Amino acid sequence: MLSRGGAVVTVSASSAVSATLFNPQNPNQFICLFKHNSDKKKSNCYNKSFISSPVYGSVKKAFVRSSSSARRMEVPSRFVVRASAQPLKNADQLIDSVETFIFDCDGVIWKGDKLIDGVPETLDMLRSKGKRLVFVTNNSTKSRKQYGKKFETLGLNVSEEEIFASSFAAAAYLKSIDFPKDKKVYVIGEDGILKELELAGFQYLGGPEDGSKKIELKPGFLMEHDHDVGAVVVGFDRYFNYYKIQYGTLCIRENPGCLFIATNRDAVTHLTDAQEWAGGGSMVGALCGSTQREPLVVGKPSTFMMDYLANKFGILKSQICMVGDRLDTDILFGQNGGCKTLLVLSGVTSLSMLQNPNNSIQPDFYTNKISDFLSLKAATV
C-alpha cells in the first residue's frame, strides 16, 4: 500500500477489476476509478483528474470524489495491485511477521459492555510472544483513564499507555499545532473529550452540561456565543441537541480561524451488543450541513493517530498489523499507514459486505474473531 496518495486495485476470481484512489492526507477524498470486466467498464465520478493506469496501459479518466470541494488534485500515476482479501489460514506466519498489533475495541475486543469470547487468551498469547499491543478506538465518550477502567472491569490487563481513544487524539492534535492557550474549545461530545482537554491544559466549554439547554425562539432572538472559541470538537454525543448545533455553528462560521475537528465519522457504533446505534458521524454530519464545511478528522481512518503511535513507540509501520471490524475506518486506517491489515467479522462488517463487488477496500486477511489466532495457530502445528 502506498504511504502517500495512491490507488488500490482489487482483483476478484470473476476477473473483475476495480480501483479506488484515496488521498491519505485527506481521508474524505477518494477517487472512484474503474470497475472493469471482460465486456464492460464503468466509472462513478465527480471531478476530473488524469492518471496513467497500468491496468489498461494508457491514460484513463479518473474522478475525485471530495465532500469538501470541487478542487482539482494531482494524483500520482503509480498503482498497487491488491488481491481480494484472503481468509487467515496461518496465524503464526502473520504473528511472526510483525512486532505490533493495533486493535480496534468496539466489535473486536468487546460489544457494548460484553467481552467477545477468547479475547483474554488471545492477548495473553500475543504478549507471551513479545508482541506490543495497542488499542485504538474512535469512541470519544471516555478518556484513556476511563477506558483503562473498562478494560479492568472486563478482566483485561491493559495499561493507560496502550490505549488511544479519539478523545485523546483531539487533545493531542491541538497540542501538536500549538493551539493557543488563551483560546477555548467548544465541545459537542461527552466526558472523555473534556477530561483529555483538561489534562492537556486547554480551556473548554460545552459538553454534557449543554445537553439540557434549550432555545426559546422568540421574535428578534439573537443567540450569543463566546468569540474566544478557537476550535469546535465534535464527537459522539448522547446529549446532542439543537442548542449545541447552533452554538457550534456560530463559532465555526463567525469566529475567525475557528477549527472544526471531528473525533470520527463512524456511521454506527455498538452501545449494546443487541444492535447497531447511530454513531458520531451523525453528530458531525449535522455541523457539516449547517456550516457547509468539512471537519479535520483526528480518529480513524486519518493517519494522525498512526503517525503519533509510530513516533511515540518508535515503530516501523511495516511492522504493524491493524486489526479491526470496519472497512472504511479500521482497514483504511491501516492501509493509509502502510500496515498489514486483518478484518474480523465479529463487529460491523459481514463476509457478504467484504465480498460485495462494490466494495473496493480489501484487507490483507480476514477471520471470524481474534481468538482464531489460537485455533488457527493450533491447526498449523
Distance CA 126, CA 128 (A): 5
Q: 294 an active-site residue?
A: no
Residue 108 half-sphere exposure, CB side, CA atoms within 13 Å? Answer: 27
What cell does 243 get?
442548542
Distance CA 21, CA 266 (A): 20
Distance CA 135, CA 300 (A): 12
Under 8 Å between Cβ of 107 and 134: no
Distance CA 329, CA 307 (A): 16
Q: Which of 353, 317, 357, 349 is nearest to 335 (CA)?
A: 317
- Torsional sign, CA 340, 350, 237, 25: positive
Place of cell 486493535: 103
Q: Which of 119, 178, 139, 169 is nearest to 309 (CA)?
A: 169
Catalytic residue among 99, 121, 196, 209: 99
Q: Which amino acid is at 213?
A: K
Catalytically active residues are: 99
